Chains A and B, each alone.
Chain A
């Protein structure tokens, strides 16, 4: 980790550069942990018969499971701060989530392999109640193993 804080000009170099894809295997156990953490007991997510009513032969996790695909991750590269793309540095130490949008297309199924491609689409510098804040916007597309678009998302974080 460098002692020099990146400036807005340094950060512009990362805009629209696609990061290495993130691959997620949608395993039953991972979905169970998601559901327990949310405390979502809808039988549609866990009951094969209910899932069949949705037209599938395998279980369909809730769409917001996509939230953990494109999510901020605490990786060795980023240290303690969760960020959407590990290879893009943050100018400041702290992060708050700003806003996000998800659009859902092909249904997600247990057993799928989802590949998400994320890039930093915009960066702005603002003065706020927490002082100087960087507003970073990331866009991501997630496709399944058949190449079908599953979700598209936009996530904005506040870095201060």
Chain B
């Protein structure tokens, strides 16, 4: 865990630290077990091919969980993830690097809360963005610390 990030540390256009993931087929099976999503397109190559997919693909919600991790790693112990949305635009094969990234799109104070809005996405090694999303987090303020 790094140092706590504060609202005053953040500005529009700032990129947050990248989270690198590398979901193996084994990890997809672990996610299937944890989430009870046993759809075969995520671990059975023949089944995936019969369903118009090249091979097994990473679960959408596992990617959403990775994006959640990107944000909770960044906001630290005193920050809170308030909202996360994503669109699954492309599929991701197993056993490949996946970069989870985010850029600050705005900062605002809403009542007592110091909110930060971000664009977030997942990226394949060739730069293709397969999941596009947005998020809102609440950070502690130095003024009220």
Point out residues on A near B: beta carbons under 8 Å: 30, 33-34, 36-40, 42-44, 50, 53-54, 62-64, 67-68, 71-74, 80-82, 94-104, 130
Contact = CB atoms under 8 A, between A and B. Distances in A.
A68 B35 contact: yes
Given A44-B77, A53-B78, 17 more contacts: A33-B34, A34-B65, A37-B34, A38-B69, A40-B72, A42-B1, A42-B72, A64-B65, A67-B65, A68-B34, A68-B36, A71-B61, A72-B39, A80-B40, A100-B60, A100-B61, A104-B81
B51 interface: yes
B103 interface: no
B5 interface: no
B6 interface: no
Given A67-B65, A98-B88, A37 B31 contact: yes
Given A39-B27, A71-B61, A63 B81 contact: yes
Contacts of A68: 34-36, 61
B72 A71 contact: no
B66 interface: yes
Given A44-B72, A103-B83, A104-B81, A67 B35 contact: yes
Contacts of B77: 44, 50, 53-54
Interface residues of B, number: 39
A102 B84 contact: yes
15 contacts: A33-B34, A37-B62, A38-B62, A42-B73, A63-B81, A67-B64, A67-B65, A72-B39, A80-B38, A99-B85, A100-B64, A100-B86, A101-B85, A103-B82, A104-B82
B124 to A, nearest CB: 17
Given A44-B77, A104-B82, A37 B51 contact: no
B37 interface: yes
A64 B60 contact: no
Contacts of B38: 74, 80, 82
A44 B59 CA distance: 25
A133 to B, nearest CB: 12
B39 A81 contact: yes
Task: In the A-B complex, list the 4 residue pairs whose CB atoms are closest, starting with the nearest.
Answer: A64-B68, A97-B60, A101-B85, A99-B87
B42 to A, nearest CB: 10
Contact of A73 (B30, B33, B37, B69): B37
A34 B40 CA distance: 19
